[in-house]
Structure 1
């Protein structure tokens, strides 16, 4: 059995694309005979992230990390995030000469600059250094790969994403019946980097609905009293929200992918978004949704797309294909004695 250790600063109770991607990857690989284990913030003390207290930052112990690696004796190590835990794991691997891979999920420099006066070049300098030690850095789309190459990142490879079509599928409209249509839906973190204000301030008929939670929720509820804020939904309630919407609106300009777009399309709901990194790769020139620099125009175009066409596009993204890409770039650990040294 092949043993894979995934190290990630992002884990439950966080609800985001990174956590869902790593979980779905693990489930897919387990079905192929992999023994997948996660080293997450759970065994460590954590502190609230400044300006975003819902996210806890781990204070990792090198001893715990080393003991985990020695005890599990993985064939492969993947460092999924660039936070304190990922940095500690990277340090141990580099010190011991252990090969590993990394992945790039989040445009952290842009997110940080939206909250604090930190130059983007500084943040990209750190990320370039962090990933330089990996045998490969896995990125979600061709657009991200080109973006990072322009910033002199090396050893880049594609690792796309998928959608679980057994969990997300078309169904009856069970929600929003009493609200004026069309029903325009956003699902995700309610935070400044998601650019939700662009969606909520957009002039368009119908009802705008926001599913999710985050630090900007209270302020946006106060500013946009006509918008329906449901809070976080999971399971069947989340599926019902996707199925009941007429258009899924994805206003972010900084996401590297956007798993929620796949979930919406798998439920038959077309997407409206800006023609930027993420939507360009997920929607592109297909009939899964519409892209336009005027978000209201994108919504109007998306309203003309059939639900069957949106569903068809979602089927282009499977976790089996994504797992093939991931496994194909893993680095094999050959010198086990160095792990225990």
Structure 2
């Protein structure tokens, strides 16, 4: 099978969406499929308003059409509701090609956090975008129910995985200079990630933030007591996970939170709010604590054995995630 994957989120961006899509490409190729990725790096781009680290490929419709027609794919998957995604959607509809989409990010909530625009407008746009798809892939039962209630149709489950060879318990030297326990956040340092809630907690020990984003310098200046490492990748990222004691996930808007699986694979219990994402991954498994009092959740999570978290993560594989993804695709012709 020849798959065309169209995505506005791709390297050098560092986030869960990019890691997930990159892994799907690797797994599909390992299973003998051909994958063409149409991504912003192939076009002239402009910085995203309020988030210049993300580059958008504007006015790319003609080239997207040419690339799709040249590829003559057996299936098209549109991963993002941004300029490249809209261009690919338009061309697929014109050609009469079925396509699938996926829901990675609660953009209406993100836009509201940045601009104050009502979420209802955002979800109306998402309904328009996704309801022409032959299938809309979602990562948790909670998101399936939520999107169904909001009028989005043709939903299909697509789970996530974690590299348990890379993310594993190890030595604690990454944060040996800090007072323990070390409470860790990994992810974008941006308003929608709610990092300020984590930084404001009164906790024993130390706090560390691994990641980059538009709020990094502001928060670094406001919280000199917190260790900010910047973005880390690969073995260095895994080393920082292993060096902490508790993972704190303060986001209220993520649809999943791949970093939670990476933390669990590293032996870290998770503290989070009882919201979609954490409710699906953590709730009922005794591998973390969910509470509206995030400080209480973090302190209580520190009592959970590391081995229990690691054993839970071992059940998640990228191979199984890729099988779901490939089964969900809509063949052309």
TM range (shorter): over 0.9
State the alpha-carbon separation in 2 of the partners of residues 119 and 46 from structure 1.
28
**Structure 1 residue runs of 4 or more that deviate by more than 3 Å after TM superposition:** none
| Structure 2 residue 139 is matched with structure 1 residue 111 | no
Which ranges in structure 1 are unaligned for 5 or more consecutive residues? 335-341
Which ranges in structure 2 are unaligned for 5 or more consecutive residues? none
| Structure 2 residue 287 is matched with structure 1 residue 285 | no
Deviation, 1:170, is: 1.6
The corresponding residue for 1:210 is 209
Deviation, 1:117, is: 2.8
The corresponding residue for 1:29 is 28
What does the per-residue CA deviation read over 1:231-271, in whole Å, with 9 as the maximum and x for residues that have no partner? 11112221111001000110001000001111111111111
TM-score between both structures, scaled by the size of structure 1: 0.95
Q: CA RMSD in A?
A: 1.0
1:63-142 correspondence to structure 2 within 5 Å: 63-142=62-141
Contact 2:78 2:101 in 1 (8 A): yes
What does the per-residue CA deviation read over 1:272-324, in whole Å, with 9 as the maximum and x for residues that have no partner? 11111001111111122221111111112211111110101112221122112
State the alpha-carbon separation in 2 of the partners of residues 212 and 43 from structure 1.
26
TM-score between both structures, scaled by the size of structure 2: 0.98
Query: SS of the residue aligned with 2:101?
Result: strand
State the alpha-carbon separation in 2 of the partners of residues 94 and 274 from structure 1.
40
Deviates more, 1:66-75 or 1:113-122: 66-75
1:156-305 correspondence to structure 2 within 5 Å: 156-305=155-304
State the alpha-carbon separation in 1 of the partners of residues 42 and 184 from structure 2.
37
**Structure 1 98/327 Cα, relative in aligned 2: closer, same or farther at 3 Å?**
same
Deviates more, 1:106-115 or 1:158-167: 158-167
Contact 1:6 1:79 in 2 (8 A): yes
Contact 1:270 1:310 in 2 (8 A): yes
What does the per-residue CA deviation read over 1:112-152, in whole Å, with 9 as the maximum and x for residues that have no partner? 00011322111110000000110000011111111111111
Deviation, 1:60, is: 4.2
What does the per-residue CA deviation read over 1:37-74, in whole Å, with 9 as the maximum and x for residues that have no partner? 21001121111111111111111433322222222221
